Amino acid sequence: MVLTSGDLCSSHWLSLLGFPGAMLSEVLLVSAPGKVILHGEHAVVHGKVALAVALNLRTFLRLQPHSNGKVDLSLPNIGIKWAWDVARLQLLDTSFLEQGDVTTPTPELVEKLKEVAGLPDDCAVTESLAVLAFLYLYLSICRKQRALPSLDIAVWSELPHGAGLGSSAAYSVCLAAALLTVCEEIPNPLKDGDCVNRWTKEDLELINKWAFQGERVIHGNPSGVDNAVSTWGGALRYQQGKISSLKRPPALQILLTNTKVPRNTRTLVAGVRNRLLKFPEIVAPLLTSIDAISLECERVLGEMGEAPAPEQYLVLEELIDMNQHHLNALGVGHASLDQLCQVTRARGLHSKLTGAGGGGCGITLLKPGLEQPEVEATKQALTSCGFDCWETSIGAPGVSIHSATSLDSRVQQALDGL
């Protein structure tokens, strides 16, 4: 199933949430994409280029103002349902949230947020951080209002949690966009008759700034790539802290496969560093070669944006194969990823790991003209290996706001399980 931004506006979406159509004018519906690394993982740690692309598995948020004096947060993917009394939050001393455009969440601030949240001691880390990021963004963005707003917020996602696909960034981006809009810090770009729309460049920059702070609550010291990809969409180039968008990147159809093999990113990064120290004359050229692969891919994507041609897909496939071999040589492969590559290679398709490796996820490029039965057979073969598999696209639109005026069966299929 492939979703485009135009597919994501559906009255069925609202009916799933159990509120009537009469309330539509009061509701904000926001979505943001996940991300995958196309090329450059691990090499980016050593100053090389990485290409990150927006993944059209999306996180969705519904914000509904109400007058019950509560702020309700529902995160069904991780089993969170929490409520706070607005009057109690209003009385809190929030001077620890510095005045200014964007507040930086220090460790001391996060500790104070824990007191405000009132979370139980046995609350799991994932759930705790998700709640703290919400409270941080709600209190920081809404504090300029004469009174904190009473809101009902539900967030749910097609992205698997903890798979390196930017789920926390998509969550932070959705929260920032919705809260900034409901507090009228940025205008609602959705006009009458629109199915979907996006904010201006200036407003997206503000969304991205706040989302990055939400990511800092969750991750401490993130690179900023994940929230940038989720905000802007398309494809981004990242090198030594500098992030820039690729112009008019094509949307590429892929299979995303989660091997469900857990991995430790820190251990894998350390392993590459150790191998570089041990074999500098072998590993340094590998990293340089991966850099060249990223640059060549960037060039080809630029050409495809101007004038797509079949031979460009052949180049992308070669780059995928070479990068996967390099990543194996760096020691970040895994038997499950080898199996993924073997299954798809047997069907004439090309795959590589994405992210840290050592398990985790892989991507498979789907060329135009590939018959749907072939795609389904490949998905079935991967599923029979015990993997989760999605047919989706990369180069997806960034954070968007939706109406609920049209019904699309693909959206219904995507949300039926929630």
CATH number at residue 54: 3.30.230.10
Q: How would residue 418 be classed by pLDDT, with cut points 50, 70 and 90? A: very low
User: Out of 19-28, 48-57, 138-147, 395-404, which region has the weakest mean confidence (pLDDT)?
Assistant: 19-28
| 172 CB-near residues (< 8 Å, 6+ apart) | 133, 137, 210, 211, 212, 214, 215, 218, 227, 230
Whether residues 90 and 202 fall in one domain: yes
Is 361 contained in some domain? yes
Count up the domains in the chain and report the number.
2
Model confidence pLDDT, tens digit, residues 24-43: 337 999 999 999 999 999 99
pTM: 0.87
216 and 302 share one domain: no
Active-site entry in 226, 351, 393, 408: 226
Q: CA-CA distance, 146 to 252, in Å (whole number)?
A: 46
Q: Tell me: the pLDDT tens digits for 207-239?
A: 999 999 999 999 888 889 999 999 999 999 999
Mean pLDDT value across the chain: 87
pLDDT (0 to 100) of residue 340: 98
321 is annotated as an active-site residue: no
**Residue 336 a catalytic site member:** no
Phi, psi dihedral angles at 415 (to 5 degrees)? -105, -10
Whether 264 has a pLDDT exceeding 60, the answer reads yes
* In-domain check, residue 11: no
Determine which of 30-39, 279-288, 302-311, 314-323 has the lowest per-residue pLDDT on average.
302-311
Residue 19 lies in a domain: no
What's the whole-number mean pLDDT along residues 110-135?
A: 80
Candidates 168, 230, 294, 403; catalytic one? 168
Whole-number Å distance between alpha carbons of 378 and 382: 6
Cα angle for residues 219, 102, 81 (degrees, 5° grid): 55
**Considering the domain boundaries, does residue 316 fall inside one?**
yes
What are the tens digits of pLDDT across the range 73-115?
999 998 889 899 999 888 877 766 665 566 677 777 777 788 7
Whether residue 98 is found in the same domain as residue 185: yes
Q: Are residues 235 and 277 in the same domain?
A: no
Query: Percentage of residues in the chain with pLDDT exceeding 90?
Result: 68
Residues 234 and 284 in one domain: no
pLDDT tens digits, 290-311: 999 999 999 999 999 888 899 9
Residues of the domain holding 378: 250-394
The reported pLDDT for the residue numbered 106 is 75
Supply 350's token pair: 């090309």
